[in-house]
Amino acid sequence: MLPKDNRLKKSSDIDIVFAHGRSVYGNFLACRLWRIVPSNFPKRGYDKDMLKVAVVVGKKVHKSAVQRNVIKRKMREVLRLLLKEGSVPAGYLFVFFAKPTILGRSYQEIATDITQVIARAKL
């Protein structure tokens, strides 16, 4: 599970990432990210050292909630370990989306794809 400080939960924060962020794509997932600029949204209380992450797996990926939750757990665990290592720089809000091609992929394949997406983002 992701640390509480690193969870992106508010829908208003996710809306900001969609409206002002940029996208990076991988084989099995996509990432929308926004570099935090506190002066753009002073009432939100953003800090340049914040790092928040959300994981989304929609019904288009799989109809079964059990399968969607398994995918989310794998993605969150990869992100938790990357955050612990310090491989993801602070100052960003991330939203990771699973594509339907993620079905049947192993943990290692998902981990490789997430690290490649973060590398492609050129942070």
Question: Can you say how many angstroms the Cα of residue 5 is from the centroid of all Cα atoms in its chain?
Answer: 14
Top pLDDT among 1 and 92 is at: 92
- ∠ CA(19), CA(13), CA(27), 5° rounding? 65
Question: Can you say how many angstroms the Cα of residue 96 is from the centroid of all Cα atoms in its chain?
Answer: 3
Q: What is the CATH number of the domain that holds 69?
A: 3.30.230.10
Q: How many residues does the chain have?
A: 123
- If one counts the domains in the chain, the total is 1
- ∠ CA(112), CA(75), CA(77), 5° rounding? 95
- Output the pTM of the full model: 0.91
pLDDT, average across residues 97-111: 96
Helices within the chain (DSSP H only): 11-20, 65-85, 107-120
- Report the distance separating Cα 81 and Cα 60, nearest Å: 27
Tens-digit pLDDT profile for residues 23-63: 999 999 999 999 999 888 888 888 899 999 999 999 999 99
Tens-digit pLDDT profile for residues 59-103: 999 999 999 999 999 999 999 999 999 999 999 999 999 999 999
Is the pLDDT score of 10 beyond 90? Answer: yes
Is the pLDDT score of 119 beyond 90? Answer: yes
Query: What residues make up the domain containing 49?
Result: 4-120
Token pair belonging to 42: 């002073």
